[in-house]
Amino acid sequence: DEVHFDDPAADVAAVFDLIEQRLALMPAVASWKYAKSLPVVDADREQVVLDATVARAEKLGIEPGSARTLFALQIEIARRIQAEKIDAWRSGREQPPPVRDLARELRPALDDIGDRLLRAIYLALPELQRPGFANSPAALQWQKRFGADAAKLVGALAALRDTPVPALARIKASAVLRIGTTGDYAPFSSDAGGILRGADIDAAVQLAKALGVEPHFVRTSWPTLMGDYRGGRFDIAMSGISITAERAAEAAFSASYHRGGKTPIVRCGRETSLDTLEEIDQPGTRVVVNPGGTNERFVREHIARAKVSLHPDNRTIFDEIRLGRADVMITDDVEVELQVRGKPGLCRATPATFTQGDKAILMLRDGELLKAVDGWLANEQRSGAVTRRLESALATAPVH
Ligand SMILES: O=C(O)C(=O)C[C@]1(C(=O)O)C=C[C@@H](O)C=C1
């Protein structure tokens, strides 16, 4: 099965669509009432609708007052549509549509739309809460197409807020696990032409299955990871994320599922002469490094005598070694594994690493969620699934 990123614009469009679907049933509702000579307003039924909205919103972490306001507005518009239709039928200007049973058919359909609308709102909430939402092109376009009522509805949508609820209970109530991932880090998370692949993508699909919910992949990036976390855009993030003190100060981390560190990659045959820092840091050694990240930081801190050259292009940096223009690069051991499998002539100099770091699942702080994720992960480690997924991703990940 192919895995893709969620589309935030589609989440918003689903909200608009369900509001339209709800109102589109009102001529049928009015037709029943017209045929049975019933009044448009049914206060008891309105109370049932609003109570159900509040109860469901609370479970989803949607601030219940803001959800209630939106549904009260939909009811107000529904009443008006019905009154207008009944007027038109009474005066003979229009013919009523065929009568459909209100209690057995129409209200269950309205209940179902209401549930789906709240779930759609839940998924779209980060977009709806953006400061510019009411004036976003999507909102303005819908207003233009849908007319006067839409402006008020957009106002009520823009006023929806999230409210804190324990993450695992919310995930189960929504039946969705929102997974933040970057799509730029093989063998853990890579986006190849819109299809997500990698060990962490496969793991996330399995984790969602274990929790009994649907995986939704939310696009994030290294610079925005913690901002997206704070903005409530995902429940967990899986992307080969290293545990750092900075991240752990805000988010929870699962147990480690990968331990690794910096290690040298060399031209095959030169392994034994370049497998320690002492050997590498000689005046005759040419070290190549990509600038800006932890690789450069490591080289600056540990290489004093060797000649260091910066190579800014990650796609060609390994060719520098292959073609003999550099002797060694020091990078993360997973990346070394990926390169030596994909590029003949390149070899890992030592099974050891110069540094040690852990990768883990980043998640919202909720004891129940942590327990569920760690319990699942321990199982996956025991069964060998974690190793198997990494091996398979290393065998198939694109090597640039
Ligand atoms: O269920 C009905 O009878 C409707 O007319 C629909 C609806 C609603 O929007 O939920 C609208 C007005 C009524 O007072 C009660 C409920």
pLDDT at 294: 84
pLDDT tens per residue, range 139-149: 999 999 888 89
CATH of the domain at 54: 1.20.59.10
Taking residues 251-258, report their average pLDDT: 98
Taking residues 67-96, report their average pLDDT: 98
Q: Judge whether 271 lies within some domain.
A: yes
Taking residues 301-329, report their average pLDDT: 94
Q: Look at 48-62, 81-95, 179-193, 349-363 and tell me which has the smallest mean pLDDT.
A: 179-193
Q: Is 38 in the pocket of ligand 1 (CB under 6 A)?
A: no
Residues 208 and 335 in one domain: no
Residues 366 and 338 in one domain: no
Q: Which residues, listed in sequence order, are joined to residue 162 by a DSSP beta bridge?
A: 62
**The token pair that represents 74 in the structure block:** 């939909």
Percent of the chain with pLDDT over 90: 92
Q: Is 110 in the pocket of ligand 1 (CB under 6 A)?
A: yes
Alpha carbons 38 and 41: distance in angstroms, whole number: 9
Alpha carbons 240 and 185: distance in angstroms, whole number: 7
The CA 43 to ligand 1 mean position distance, Å, reads: 8
The CA 29 to ligand 1 mean position distance, Å, reads: 8
Predicted complex ipTM exceeds 0.90: yes
The ligand 1 atom at the shortest distance from the C-alpha of residue 75 is 9
Residues 20 and 91 in one domain: yes
The ligand 1 atom at the shortest distance from the C-alpha of residue 42 is 14
The CA 126 to ligand 1 mean position distance, Å, reads: 29
Instruction: Judge whether residue 54 has pLDDT over 80.
Output: yes
> Is the alpha carbon torsion for 314, 312, 274, 259 positive or negative?
negative
Instruction: Judge whether residue 269 has pLDDT over 80.
Output: yes
Residues 104 and 235 in one domain: no
Residues 211 and 302 in one domain: no
Instruction: Judge whether residue 97 has pLDDT over 80.
Output: yes
**The token pair that represents 229 in the structure block:** 């976390």
Q: Is 201 in the pocket of ligand 1 (CB under 6 A)?
A: no
Taking residues 119-148, report their average pLDDT: 95
Domain end, chosen from 158, 192, 222, is at: 158
Average pLDDT over the chain, rounded to an integer: 96
Instruction: Judge whether residue 399 has pLDDT over 80.
Output: no
CATH of the domain at 283: 3.40.190.10
* Owning domain of residue 180: 167-258+358-396
Instruction: Judge whether residue 271 has pLDDT over 90.
Output: yes
Which of 32, 45, 48, 110 has most ligand 1 atoms within 8 Å of its beta carbon, as the pocket-test mutant?
45
Instruction: Judge whether residue 93 has pLDDT over 80.
Output: yes
Percent of the chain with pLDDT over 70: 99
pLDDT tens per residue, range 367-385: 999 999 999 999 999 999 9
Residues 132 and 252 in one domain: no
Instruction: Judge whether residue 200 has pLDDT over 90.
Output: yes
Residues 296 and 336 in one domain: yes
pLDDT at 379: 98
Taking residues 167-184, report their average pLDDT: 97
Taking residues 50-78, report their average pLDDT: 98
User: Which residue has a Cα nearest atom 16 of ligand 1?
Assistant: 46
Residues ≥6 apart with Cβ < 8 Å to 370: 252, 254, 363
Per-residue 3-state assignment (H helix, E strand, C coil) for 245-282 = HHHHCCCEEEEEEEEECEEEEEECCCHHHCCCHHHHCC
Position 220 confidence tier, pLDDT thresholds 50, 70, 90? very high
pLDDT at 208: 98
pLDDT at 292: 84
